[in-house]
């Protein structure tokens, strides 16, 4: 499992210090939001470059890049440059676009859902072509056109592309072409995860891919505090431990990005993460049943609190 922080690039916050804290706490991932049209936000790529220069181990990604305002060929060059300068610590999260009023106000083109999906698929093709070792690159699509005599720069190591999608057609696309699926908890609550996973797996299998090769990333949009449980991902660390364990063991989620208040990052990193790792390891160990022990109808982690229905 991987754990990380999803950071909204609000320029009023001490963004670099927060990123350094995440690195110091041993988090695996730092996702940085990309909403260029929002007032008071830092530029995501510039912030990524700064963060990579002042950290040593954490891997950084736009979560997710705003494709309608990031031409894919230029995006491919920027991400590969960051990867090479950081020793291979960059991933790419990519989305079709939301907040179309803001995108249009910033010079982007408003697209319908189907058009945005097709543009996203073309962008993945353009980016991978740009990172390839092919010569005489040509791409002619409905939304993007690209021609270059030589590719590059190539990333230091292959960069995974994770798609932030939620609808059935978007999941089909992720299953066909993506290296990972980023699911926000506000749009894909646990009761929708099973159907999303099924759709993703079936699309991957139809494309001749192994579904197990697709990373499952869950964006934890909640509140970590001690004021008592107020629903899914809104409660004290103990509640989060059991809810994340259920997501990992019961739903196959292998990566978590904490998107709550950065002021509670210490609690997430030092209380929640170690306990989730331990509880997941304990639940995955084979149980040894003593001879003549009575059969049980089911098991619940010792001391697990009652939870709202998820």
Per the prediction, the chain carries an average pLDDT of: 91
**Amino acid 296: pLDDT:** 37
Q: What is the pTM of this model?
A: 0.90
- Per-residue 3-state assignment (H helix, E strand, C coil) for 241-267: HHHHHHHHHHHCCCEEEECCCHHHHHH
pLDDT at residue 208, rounded to an integer:
98
**Does the residue 225 lie in any domain?**
yes
Domain membership flag for residue 289: no
Helix, strand, coil shares, percent, the chain, to 5:
40, 15, 40
- Strand ranges, E, within 53-157: 59-62, 65-66, 92-95, 137-140, 145-148
- The predicted model gives 289-301 an average pLDDT of 43
Give me the mean pLDDT over the 37-41 stretch: 95
Residue 292 included in any domain: no
pLDDT the model gives residue 285:
67
Residue 18 located in a structural domain: yes
Alpha-carbon span 256 to 5, nearest angstrom: 8
pLDDT class of 301 with cuts at 50, 70, 90: very low
Where does the pLDDT of residue 286 fall: very low under 50, low under 70, confident under 90, or very high at 90 and above? low
Give the sign of the dihedral formed by CA 278, CA 280, CA 284, CA 290: positive
Instruction: Please give the tally of structural domains in the chain.
Output: 1
Does 176 map to a domain?
A: yes
Q: Is residue 305 part of a domain?
A: no
- Check: CB of residue 215 under 8 Å from CB of residue 254: yes
> CA-to-CA distance for 6 and 19, rounded, in angstroms?
10
Task: Specify whether the backbone of 16 is left (phi greater than 0), alpha (psi in -120 to 50) or beta.
Answer: alpha
The percent of residues above 90 in pLDDT, for the chain, comes to 82
pLDDT surpasses 60 at 10: yes
CA angle 198, 199, 202 (to 5 degrees): 80
Taking residue 6's Cβ as centre, other Cβ atoms within 10 Å add up to 24
Segment (H or E) for 88: none
* Residue 228 pLDDT: 86
* Domain CATH code at residue 163: 3.20.20.30
Residue 69, in any domain of the structure? yes
Which is higher by pLDDT, 156 or 212? 212
**Residue 122 counted as domain residue:** yes
**What local confidence, expressed as pLDDT, does residue 287 receive?**
54
Domain extent for 144: 2-284
Q: What is the pLDDT of residue 297?
A: 38
């Amino acid at each position: 499992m991987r754990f990380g922080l999803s950071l909204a690039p609000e320029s009023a916050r001490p963004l670099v210090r927060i990123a350094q804290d995440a690195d110091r706490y041993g988090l695996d991932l730092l996702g940085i939001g990309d909403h260029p049209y929002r007032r008071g936000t830092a530029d995501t790529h510039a912030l990524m470059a700064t963060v990579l220069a002042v950290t040593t181990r954490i891997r950084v990604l736009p979560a997710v890049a705003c494709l309608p305002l990031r031409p894919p060929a230029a995006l491919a060059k920027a991400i590969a440059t960051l990867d090479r300068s950081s020793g291979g610590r960059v991933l790419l999260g990519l989305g079709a676009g939301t907040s179309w009023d803001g995108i249009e106000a910033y010079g982007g083109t408003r697209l319908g859902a189907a058009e945005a999906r097709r543009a996203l698929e073309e962008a993945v093709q353009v980016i991978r072509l740009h990172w390839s070792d092919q010569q005489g690159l040509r791409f002619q699509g409905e939304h993007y056109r690209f021609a270059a005599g030589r590719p590059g720069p190539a990333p230091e190591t292959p960069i995974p592309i994770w798609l932030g999608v939620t609808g059935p057609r978007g999941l089909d696309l992720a299953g066909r072409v993506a290296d990972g699926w980023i699911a926000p908890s506000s749009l894909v609550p646990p009761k929708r995860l099973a159907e999303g996973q099924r759709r993703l797996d079936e699309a991957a299998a139809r494309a001749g891919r192994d579904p197990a090769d697709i990373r499952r990333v869950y964006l934890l949009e909640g509140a970590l505090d001690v004021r008592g449980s107020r629903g899914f991902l809104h409660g004290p660390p103990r509640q989060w431990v059991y809810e994340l364990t259920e997501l990992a063991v019961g739903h196959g989620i292998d990566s978590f990005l904490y998107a709550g208040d950065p002021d509670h990052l210490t609690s997430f990193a030092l209380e929640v993460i170690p306990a989730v790792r331990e509880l997941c390891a304990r639940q995955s160990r084979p149980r040894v049943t003593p001879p003549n022990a009575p059969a049980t109808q089911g098991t619940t982690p010792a001391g697990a609190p009652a939870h709202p229905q998820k």
